[in-house]
Amino acid sequence: MSEPLGEALFDRYAGNYNAALAAGLSSTGEDAAYFAKRRVEWMQHRLERLHFAPRRVMDFGCGTGGSTPYLLSLNDVESHIGVDISDASIDIAKRLYTDRRTTFAHVDRWHGAGSIDLAFCNGVFHHIPPASRAACVDYVHRALRPGGLFALWENNPWNPGVRLVMSRIPFDRDAITLPPPQTRTLMSSHGFDVLASEFLFIFPKALASLRFLEKPLCRLPIGGQYLTLGRKR
């Protein structure tokens, strides 16, 4: 899986990943931590509505571990495994996050078939060549137990601000984004029942007073990112 996930690219940017990301996100008025926390909070609300409390969580394409503390804050989580193609990124994550419940490993060196309750993924699939995306969905599918959930977050190419942000991030400039229907088809054709497709991050910080509208507007394809939630058949 090394070629699909761009090992060399993210090894090169591992040391200044956060700085590069911050430069791109500056136009929103928020930092990466805001988005990481908000994604997990939104997902948790959806899980609670499903009465689903994961104990074993996998972060597919974890990078330097920015989502780790928020995933560990989910109710009842006993273990967290972050997998990535970039050894340099994994090394940084290991230094930053030392909670006894968490482990990080190269995606090709972790084999936990059928052991995961919830797989989380953010902003990874637009870096995977289209011909290789199915294999990555299959990897997640194998990792999950029957009935396990896959929460896949992706950038929304229908939002005009997304391309502006991505153009300012060196490792995102040439990425191939996934329209939401394509993501739903990808998941449904590889062993998942799609339970939800929702959009988030409509308003920048300057319009934060309007964020109470994000929940009623989540079905409209206008947010900067979208969540596709699938259940393993």
Tell me the domain boundaries of the chain.
2-232
Task: Give the list of residues 6+ apart from residue 40 with CB closer than 8 angstroms, or none.
Answer: 67, 70, 71, 73, 74, 120
Q: What is the pLDDT of residue 8?
A: 58
Q: What is the pLDDT of residue 80?
A: 98
Q: Phi and psi (nearest 5°) for 99?
A: -55, 135
Which tens digit of pLDDT belongs to each residue from 146-177? Answer: 999 999 999 999 999 998 898 888 888 889 99
b/e per residue, 136-167, with b = 16+ CB within 10 A?
bbebbbebbeeebbbbbbbbbbebeebeebbe
Q: What is the pLDDT of residue 5?
A: 45
Strand intervals (E) in 1-135: 56-60, 79-84, 102-106, 116-122
Q: Phi and psi (nearest 5°) for 163?
A: -65, -35
Q: What is the pLDDT of residue 97?
A: 97
Which tens digit of pLDDT belongs to each residue from 22-52? Answer: 778 888 999 999 999 999 999 999 999 999 9
Query: Distances in Å between the alpha carbon of 96 and those of 21, 90, 130, 147?
Result: 18, 10, 32, 32
Strand intervals (E) in 76-190: 79-84, 102-106, 116-122, 144-155
CB 147 within 8 A of CB 178: no
d(CA 177, CA 128): 9
d(CA 196, CA 88): 34
Q: What is the pLDDT of residue 6?
A: 58
Q: What top-level class would CATH report for the domain 2-232? A: alpha beta
Which tens digit of pLDDT belongs to each residue from 185-202? Answer: 999 999 999 999 999 999
Which tens digit of pLDDT belongs to each residue from 86-128? Answer: 999 999 999 999 999 999 999 999 988 999 999 999 999 999 9
Mean pLDDT of 58-78: 96
pLDDT higher than threshold 60 for residue 2: no
Query: What does the mean pLDDT of the chain come to?
Result: 92
Q: What is the pLDDT of residue 24?
A: 81
CB atoms under 10 Å from CB of 113, counted, come to 11
CB 35 within 8 A of CB 201: yes
pLDDT higher than threshold 50 for residue 231: yes
Pick 210 or 25 by higher pLDDT. 210
Give the CA angle between residues 7, 17, 179 to the nearest 5°: 70
CB 97 within 8 A of CB 65: yes
Please name which of 56, 230, 47, 225 lies closest in space to residue 138, comparing C-alpha atoms.
Answer: 230
